[in-house]
Amino acid sequence: MTATARTLRRVPRPRTWSVRASDVVALVLGNGLLIGAMWLRHGQAVELHSVSGILIAAGQLTALYGTYLVLLQLVLMSRSPWLDQVFGTDRVADLHRWVGFTGIMLLVAHGTFTTVGYGLAYGNGVTGELVTALATYPYVLMATAGMALFIAVGISSVRLARRRLSYETWYGIHLYAYLAIALAFMHQLAVGTDFISDPVARLYWIALYVIAGTLMLVFRFGQPVRLSLRHRLRVANVVEEAPGVVSIYVTGRDLDQLATRAGQWFRWRFLTADDWWRSHPFSLSAAPNGRFLRLTVKDIGDHTRTLQRLRIGTRVFAEGPYGNLTGARRTRPRVLMIAGGIGITPLRALLEELPAARGDLTLLYRAHREEDLVFRNELEQLSTLRGATVHYLVGGRGTPTLPGDPLAPGTLRRLVPDVAQRDVYICGPLSMMESVRRNLRALRVPASQIHFERFAF
């Protein structure tokens, strides 16, 4: 089985959501204001005349906004396609990181302000107040356990710790955040000053939880289960492309009804005895054609090594499609694609799918060694078929064949003189993408014409 433009058949496009970034920002800020108004309406501001009153008020506000951010985290992690479309997976992942840290800091501040504030107000001292609160209110004890879990999740995400942990360990620790959310929930309704005696505020607060939970259920669980039941995906073939790189062909029922486009990626879970429990992101390396989906995997770690020996017939559970590195972002008729290493996968699919006149598509493909170039034959076929230009930039940087930066502004201008009039799609190692984006800016390519996908969250 090969994948060329000859086999291309139209499949439906993923739904376009009529949501704009400004709508999302307005909704988030609007709710933020509503929460502040709710706090004021309950008369909490009148207590600000004493130190204990100020601390208790600070404890209440940090609790409300800390919890609000935790709920926003659930929305950000719901893998909702409208969020992906509006912000892109990269930006959602970045937001998740900063909203997460801020939320945890606010919740720690809530615990501290509240304990010190009530300790002062009742003359118990900090330790006395802590012991009283934990011994008197079981829900506060549960929330304190939840806070400890949140702190563990936060510490595991600090860059230094993250680098030392395997992805699986880090992800496993992250799952405790759900337990933490559940543990903290009841204490808000049981002892939260804003909720004890205001049924409307309680209803509003519960509604926020229900909305966040529903998005999680629908998009993280419902949608992938539906996709898998509908299409019953299986591995149809595994083909070696280069040393340590294989293409996995996945077939299934009604694939011509699976809405996706070139440049997108799925989280793939291969249901083998050892690996069914983990899913990994891989881009489509061939344009969707209604007959098979193809992903191409480079061996860089334990999971990608196992995939090199995947058995034909293995059941596949796929979540997606995700990602914005698609024709939907296109603003110009002419396109430049810049691939580094295995970053060729989504660009290979785009080269096949993007509508273009002959001469409109150019691919620059950077690799360290000739043998690292994957899809060479397919790229040759596609370039003939589509009238595209492909340049291979092979060699170690600083060697006689490639003395300088092979993607320096001068080289880019020489290879693609009209670069500033093109959309540029980039995928490759992070450092390469950063330097290419800098070089493109130096060549006055507007940011709106530069589209990229990171192969790491």
**Which residues are at the interface with ligand FAD (CB under 6 A)?**
166-167, 265, 278, 280-283, 295-298, 300-304, 342, 345, 453, 455-457
Which residue lies nearer to ligand FAD by CB, 79 or 110? 79
Shortest distance (Å) from residue 295 CB to ligand FAD: 6
Shortest distance (Å) from residue 10 CB to ligand FAD: 23
Task: Please tell me the distance from the alpha carbon of residue 196 to that of residue 188, in angstroms, as a whole number.
Answer: 9
Shortest distance (Å) from residue 151 CB to ligand FAD: 23
Contacts of 197 (CB under 8 A, 6+ apart): none
3 state DSSP class of 97: helix
Task: Please tell me the distance from the alpha carbon of residue 326 to that of residue 261, in angstroms, as a whole number.
Answer: 7
Which residue lies nearer to ligand FAD by CB, 260 or 296? 296
Exposed e or buried b for every residue in 356-384, given b needs 16+ CB within 10 A? beeebbbbbbbbeeeebbbbbebbebbbe
CA distance from start to end of the chain = 32
**Closest CA relative to residue 439, chosen from 453, 414, 456, 457:** 414
Which residue lies nearer to ligand FAD by CB, 66 or 288? 288
Which residue lies nearer to ligand FAD by CB, 118 or 375? 375
Shortest distance (Å) from residue 282 CB to ligand FAD: 4
3 state DSSP class of 322: strand
Shortest distance (Å) from residue 176 CB to ligand FAD: 17
Shortest distance (Å) from residue 346 CB to ligand FAD: 7
With CB atoms as reference, the residue minimizing the distance to ligand FAD is: 301
Which residue lies nearer to ligand FAD by CB, 70 or 297? 297
Q: What tokens appear for 110 in the block?
A: 């809530």
DSSP label at 354?
A: S
**Closest CA relative to residue 118, chosen from 103, 138, 140, 139:** 140
Which residue lies nearer to ligand FAD by CB, 304 or 389? 304
Shortest distance (Å) from residue 239 CB to ligand FAD: 14
Task: Please tell me the distance from the alpha carbon of residue 298 to that of residue 305, in angstroms, as a whole number.
Answer: 8
Which residue lies nearer to ligand FAD by CB, 208 or 427? 427
